[in-house]
A and B are shown apart, each in its own frame.
Chain A
Amino acid sequence: MKQGPSRRTPLFHIAKRDRMRPAAAWGVRVGAFVLALLLNALFVWCVVRVDPLTFYRTMLRGAFGSSSYLWATFKATAKLLCIAVALAPAFKMRFWNIGAEGQVLIGGMAAAFVMYHYTSLPTPVLFLLMIVCSLLAGGIWGLIPAFFKAKLNTNETLFTLMMNYIATQIVLYFYNEWRGIRSALGMLNSSTKVGWFSSLWGGTSDGSLLQNEDFWFIVIVAVLTVLMYFYLRSTKHGYEIAVVGESGNTARYAGIHVNKVLLRTMILSGAICGFCGFLTVSSQSHTISSEMAGGYGFTAIIVAWLSKFNTFTMAGVALLIVALEKGAALMSNTYGTLGFSAPAADVMVGVMLLVVIGSEFFIQYRVMRSHAGKEAETV
C-alpha cells in the first residue's frame, strides 16, 4: 500500500447534484419504469416465448381488465398503501422501521382475539374494542424498539426486524391453539359474522357499494392517506419530525425533545400498522395467519422510500407494484403449464424495484466523463 498516488484517472467521476428539477427527476423514474417493463418482457419471452404486446395486454387485463380484477387490485393497493402511509412519519424521521410486518400481524392478532373471545358484545362496542386493541398492540410493537433507541441507542433496523418474528410466532401460536385438531383454522365466526365488516349492515350484502367490505377498506385507507399527508406537511408534529430527520442536533438546538418525538412518532407508525391488521382481519381475511401481512410490510418500506415520504406518490407507486403483481398472476394462470409459475410475479416485481431504485442514483448524482489531463492536476 505504499506505491504512492495512482497515476490512473478513472474514466468517469461522480458528483452530487445540487437538486434535480422535479420534472427531470420524474423523467428518469419513468424511463427506469419503461426499462424495467422491457426487461420483464424479455424475461417472459425467454421463459414462455410470449411476444411483448400479448404480454403487456395480459398484464393490463390481469390488473384492470374486469371488475373483479379491479377490485382485487385496488384492495391490495389499499393494503400496501396503508402500511406505507404508516411508515411515512418514521422514515421521514430517519427511523428505519423494518418492523411493519410484525406490527400488522400483532394488530391483526389483537383484533382477532377480541372478535374470537367477545362474541356477545354489541356490534359498536365490539368494533371499538377491536380497533382500540389493534392500535394499542401495533403501537406497543412500534414503541418497544423506539424506547430502546431513545434510551440506549440500540440499532432500530435490527431491533424492529427481530420484532417481526416474535409477532409471527405469537400469531402461529394462536393459530394452532384455535385450530385445535382441525387441519386448518378457517374463518373466525363464519356463521355469526361477528366482528366482520359485513356485520355492520346485517351480514348479507345487497350488492351496493355501501355494503361492500372492500369498498370501505379502500375508503378508510384513502382517508388515512390524506390525513397523513397533511399531518406531515402542515402540523407542528410533522415539522418536528422533519427537523429530527434532518439533524438531531439541530432539533435539540431548536428546543425539540428528540426522544419525545421519536417515541410519539413510532407509536403512531406502529398503531397505523396495527390498524391495517384490524382492517385485514375484519374486512378481508376474517381469520389470522402468519401470512396476514403477506410480505407487504417489506414491500411498503420500498414504496415509502421511493415516494420520498409523500403519501400521494405512495398511492401511485403502490398501485404500480400491485398492478404488476396482479398482471403477473394472470400471466401465470394463462401460461402456468408452460413454466410461467406464480413466483414469477416476485421475480418481475424484484426486477422492477431494482431498476427503479437504481435510477435514484442518476437523480442524486451526476456522472461525468473525466478529462484525463486536467483531472490529474486538480486531484
Chain B
Amino acid sequence: MIWTNILGWVQQAVPFAAFLALAALGELLTEKAGSLNLGTPGTMCVGASAGFITVYSYCNAVEEPSVVLILLISLGSSFLAATLLGLLYSFFTVSLRINQNVVGLVLTIFGCGLAEFLSYYFVKSESGNVRCEAAFRVFTAKIPFLSEKLGWFSELFFRYGFMLYVTIAAVILLSLFFYHTRAGLHLRAVGENPGTADAAGISVTKYRYLASSLGAGLVGMAGLFCVMEFKSGAWSTADVYTLEAFGWLAVALVIFALWKPLNLLWGSLIFGFCYWAYVYLPQLLGVTVSTDLMRMLPYVITILVLILVNLRRHKGDQGPAALGLSYFREER
C-alpha cells in the first residue's frame, strides 16, 4: 500500500518535473546571457499550441501517420514558433534596448492570447478537449525491454516517454557547454559583465540573440511536452491558463536551481512532488492538506532560496550579475 503510493507519487512527479525542467532549461540559457525573459509563459503557450495544432492537423489529414513525421512536425513547429518569439524578444531588448521586463510581460500577454486564438481558429473546439491519440502514443511510448523486465527498477525509472530522457540529456549537455567550452564561457561572460565581454571581443549582441532564441525554442518544446504528458495529448483553449502558471513556475525553478543546469534535475523533482503531494500525502500520512496551499509551496521555497542565497553572499550562488540589464556600448 505504502509502496504503491510512493510509486504512484514518483510516476506522477517525474514527468511533471521533466517538462518543467526543460522549460526552466530554456529560461536558464536565456538568463545566463543576461536576459531575463518574462515572456516564458507566453512562449510556452505558443510552443504548445503551434506544436499541437500542426500535429493534430497532420494526424487528421493522413490515414497512417508516421512516427518520424509526428515527432518532426510537432517538435519542429513548437520549436520554430517559440524561437520566433525569442527572436522578437531579442530584437526588442538587444537591438532596440527596451526594458527587458516590459518586453517580456508584453510577450506573455501576446503569446497567451495568440495561443488561445490559434487554438480556436484551427482546432475549432469551443467546448472541451481535442485529443491527438497518435501523437500521445508516440510521446508516451516506453522503452521496450527496460520498462518491463527489471521489476521495481523499471517501475521507478523507465515508465516514462522518451522526452524525459531527452530532457536529462539536454540538461547535462548544456551544463557541459556552460562550464567546459569556450563558447559557454563567453556566454556566461556576456551575462556577468557585458562591458568586459565586449572589450574582449565577444559579441554581446550575437550571444544574447542566440541564447534568447534557442532558449525560447526549448521553452516552446516544453510546452508541447506538457500537453502530451500532463494533459495526455489533449488540448483545450483553457489549458493556456494552466500552461501560463507552469511558465511562471519554470521561471521560479531557474532561481531555485541557482542558475545551475544540473540543479534543475532535482529541483524540478521537488516541485513535482510538491505539486502532486495533495493526492499522496493524505494516503501516506493520513493528513489532509489543501491542494491550493500545497501548490503554493514551490513559490514559497523559491523565495526562501532567494533570501538564503543573499544571506550567504556566496558568489557562485548568485544569478548572472548583468541579469535584466540592457547593454549599450556607448553608455558605459
B296 adjacent to A341 (CB under 8 Å): no
- 1/0 per residue, CB under 8 A from B, across A165-186: the answer is 1100110110010000000000
Interface check A24, CB cutoff 8 A: no
Contact of A98 among B101, B202, B303 (CB under 8 A): B101
Interface check B311, CB cutoff 8 A: yes
**Residues in A neighbouring B296, C-beta threshold 8 A:** 165-166, 169-170
B109 adjacent to A353 (CB under 8 Å): yes
Interface check B96, CB cutoff 8 A: yes
A166 adjacent to B109 (CB under 8 Å): no
| A20 → chain B closest CB, angstroms | 15
| Minimal Cβ-Cβ distance residue in A for B103 | A357
B110 adjacent to A350 (CB under 8 Å): yes
A346 adjacent to B117 (CB under 8 Å): yes
**Residues in A neighbouring B240, C-beta threshold 8 A:** 343
Interface of B is mostly: helix
A165 adjacent to B292 (CB under 8 Å): no
Interface check A305, CB cutoff 8 A: yes
B293 adjacent to A169 (CB under 8 Å): yes
| B282 → chain A closest CB, angstroms | 16
A350 adjacent to B292 (CB under 8 Å): no
A165 adjacent to B306 (CB under 8 Å): no
B101 adjacent to A350 (CB under 8 Å): no
B97 adjacent to A364 (CB under 8 Å): yes
- Distance, CA A323 to CA B240, complexed state (A): 24
Interface of A is mostly: helix
From A152, A158, A344, A354, residue with most partner B Cβ within 10 Å:
A158
- Distance, CA A360 to CA B92, complexed state (A): 10
| Minimal Cβ-Cβ distance residue in A for B237 | A343
| B181 → chain A closest CB, angstroms | 14
B105 adjacent to A361 (CB under 8 Å): no
Q: Which residues of A133-159 are within 8 A (CB) of B?
A: 148, 152-155, 157-159
- Distance, CA A186 to CA B289, complexed state (A): 24
**Residues in A neighbouring B323, C-beta threshold 8 A:** 155
Interface check A339, CB cutoff 8 A: yes
| Minimal Cβ-Cβ distance residue in B for A364 | B97
Interface check B113, CB cutoff 8 A: yes
- Distance, CA A165 to CA B303, complexed state (A): 11
**Residues in B neighbouring A16, C-beta threshold 8 A:** 328, 330-331
| Minimal Cβ-Cβ distance residue in A for B244 | A295
- 1/0 per residue, CB under 8 A from A, across B17-45: the answer is 00000000000000000001010000000
Interface check B120, CB cutoff 8 A: yes
Contact of B102 among A14, A155, A357 (CB under 8 A): A357
**Interface residues of B toward A: which range?**
35 or more
Interface check B9, CB cutoff 8 A: no
A343 adjacent to B120 (CB under 8 Å): yes
Q: Which residues of B284-304 are within 8 A (CB) of A?
A: 290-293, 295-296, 299-300, 302-303
B302 adjacent to A344 (CB under 8 Å): no
| Minimal Cβ-Cβ distance residue in A for B318 | A155
| A341 → chain B closest CB, angstroms | 4
Contact of B310 among A1, A15, A148, A162 (CB under 8 A): A148
Interface check A163, CB cutoff 8 A: yes
**Residues in A neighbouring B116, C-beta threshold 8 A:** 341, 343, 346
Given contacts A165-B296, A169-B295, A341-B117, contact A159 B306 (CB under 8 A): yes
Given contacts A161-B251, A173-B290, contact A1 B110 (CB under 8 A): no
Interface check A110, CB cutoff 8 A: no
| A25 → chain B closest CB, angstroms | 15
**Residues in B neighbouring A344, C-beta threshold 8 A:** 113, 117
B101 adjacent to A347 (CB under 8 Å): no
Interface check B55, CB cutoff 8 A: no
Given contacts A148-B310, A346-B112, A350-B113, contact A166 B120 (CB under 8 A): no
Given contacts A163-B303, A301-B101, A353-B109, contact A358 B310 (CB under 8 A): no
**Residues in B neighbouring A350, C-beta threshold 8 A:** 106-107, 109-111, 113-114
A-B contact pairs, 14 of them (CB 8 A): A148-B306, A152-B310, A162-B302, A166-B303, A301-B105, A341-B120, A343-B114, A343-B240, A346-B112, A350-B109, A351-B110, A353-B109, A357-B102, A358-B92
Given contacts A166-B296, A341-B126, 15 further A-B contacts (CB under 8 A): A16-B331, A98-B105, A155-B323, A157-B324, A158-B306, A162-B306, A173-B292, A176-B291, A295-B109, A301-B101, A343-B113, A343-B240, A346-B109, A350-B110, A365-B97
List of 8 A-B pairs having minimum Cβ-Cβ separation, nearest first: A346-B113, A350-B110, A343-B116, A169-B296, A152-B310, A341-B120, A361-B96, A173-B292
